[in-house]
Amino acid sequence: MDYLIMGGQLMLSLSILIVLHELGHFIPARLFGTRVEKFYLFFDPWFELFKRKIGDTEYGIGWLPLGGYVKISGMIDESFDSEQLQQEPQPWEFRSKPAWQRLVIMLGGVTVNFILGFFIYSMVLWGYGQEYLPAENVTYGIQVDSIGQDMGLRDGDHILAIDGKPFDKFNDRILVREIIINNASQLTVKRDGEQIEVPIDPKFVTMLSSYEYKNALLFIPRTPFVISDFLKESPAKAAGMEIGDQVIGLNGQPTPFFFDFAKAVKERKAEEITVAVLRNEADTLNLTMTTTAEGMIGVARVLPDEMFGTERQTYTLAEAIPAGIAKGWGFLGDQVKAFGQMFKGKIKASDSLGGFGTIGSMFGNEWQWERFWTMTAILSLILAFMNLLPIPALDGGHVMFLLYEVVTGRKPSDKFLERATMVGFILVLLLVLYANGLDIIRSFFG
């Protein structure tokens, strides 16, 4: 069921983006009197799921969900229809239009995707705002994972700034982004009442951008262990523990925070233990119970967001539009910087690639509209950015040749364009196969 939900979200998102992208080509083509022979969602080699001809255009849905296309008369594209190009150019054909009109037609798709990405970001901010955990609310500091320990952080640290930028919204992904994208080199933390500087080793750029560590936590909020619920089989409940109790000790040893207890109890599997709990902030009780075979006591805890309280920044429509555009530009800037890190060898290209499985997993296994639309905005901007790359068969390749024509006044030959498009199409197809192959390898071999 999880895969169906993720797959359904991915298919809906891609369908929206593909149709609107192709409309970006279709509308200016028709405005300039260019004939559009086909308008398809998904590709249709050998057969299609649906088709209907209206006027000069055949509208349809293909069976291969790797994209979509509009077939414009007299244009060299992935259909490789060379027979039409052997005839005399007709007034309604793409090749008969002035270079500036052809340029507008080719830029139409990415223009729509850029505008759509900014628009969706703005509407998400307007409709949902931004929820975050204020760093100042995390009164007990951080609980550090192994990578954070290696970086120099310690349990109980309060992160104040990253390279001088205030760390006011508690999220370890902010630190990950600053390291990978902006080569962050220093953290300012408060430790044992003193403010100190923690240098960040450059090795973490490569480490944190690798597929192996892409979801690795650096730290989380450090919290007391307060009981919020019991599992079906719960030794703690059987021993008399109640919701709201705070676990403060194990076998006479203090465990003031959740991970202190979790680490200690994990080593005591199917073993009788004594747990000290604080009830009603006044009474201390010692409860005896036997842990499960996994070294657990069968409880759920109050999570950090609930314990410390999140805040939600709201936006009026007038505020959301510029904020959404700024957020979109920030995302695009990160993509450009990430490419720069790849060229410098700090990020491995293979670690940044993923196929449909990777993209689908980013939607999550629950259908949440806020996350769905945020992911759709991200994919729209990625689609625009990637399509602008100067690779024949992509919009950017066509734009590159058209700009050459505009600047030099010389149009590349149809034969050259056909061969270049073939090479570009093969490169793109190989890249798609490689990205999805990586997904398969990761699924089976981790």
Residue 443: predicted pLDDT: 67
Report the pLDDT value the prediction gives residue 445, as an integer from 0 to 100: 58
Is residue 299 within 8 Å of residue 275, measured between CB atoms?
no
Cα Dmax for the chain:
93
* ∠ Cα 200 157 166 (to 5°): 65
Rounded CA gap, 122 and 283, in Å?
A: 50
215-225 as b/e: b if 16+ CB within 10 A: eeebbbbbbbb
Task: Give the per-residue pLDDT at 442.
Answer: 67
Which of 360, 403, 356, 387 has the alpha carbon at shortest distance from 117? 387
What are the structure tokens assigned to 73, written together?
A: 């008369």
**pLDDT per residue of the chain (446 residues) written in tens, 0 to 9:** 677 888 889 889 999 999 999 999 999 999 999 999 999 998 888 888 999 999 989 999 998 887 888 999 888 766 555 666 667 778 888 888 998 999 999 999 999 999 999 999 999 999 999 999 999 999 999 999 999 999 999 999 999 999 999 999 999 999 999 999 999 999 999 999 999 999 999 999 989 988 888 888 899 999 999 999 999 889 999 999 999 999 999 999 999 999 999 999 999 999 999 999 999 888 899 999 999 999 999 999 999 999 999 999 999 999 999 999 999 999 999 888 888 888 887 888 777 777 777 778 888 888 899 999 999 999 999 999 988 888 887 888 888 988 888 888 888 887 888 788 888 878 877 877 777 786 677 666 55
Q: Considering the entire predicted model, what is its pTM?
A: 0.85
- CA dihedral (92, 93, 99, 103) in degrees, to 10, reads 100
CA–CA separation, 433 vs 416, rounded Å?
Answer: 26
77 phi/psi in degrees, rounded to 5: -140, -165
Hey, what are 315's tokens?
A: 């936006």
Cα(178)–Cα(320) distance, rounded to whole angstroms? 24
Nearest partner of 299 among 246, 253, 260, 256, judged by Cα: 246
Strand partners, 187: 162, 198
CATH 2.30.42.10 is right for the domain spanning 225-301: yes
Non-local CB neighbours of 46 within 8 Å, separated by 6+ positions: none
pLDDT of residue 85: 62
Domain boundaries of the chain, sorted by first residue: 2-128+365-445, 131-220+303-313, 225-301
Those residues with Cβ within 8 angstroms of residue 55's Cβ, 6 or more apart along the chain or in another chain: none
Q: Which CATH number fits domain 131-220+303-313: 1.10.3470, 2.30.42, 2.40.128, 2.60.120?
A: 2.30.42
The per-residue pLDDT for 84 is: 62
> What distances in angstroms separate CA 364 from CA 3, 176, 178, 361, one per listed residue?
9, 20, 24, 5
367 close to 9: Cβ distance less than 8 angstroms: yes
Alpha helices per DSSP H over 250-343 = 258-266, 304-308, 317-343
10 Å CB burial of residue 47 (0-12, 13-18, 19+) is exposed
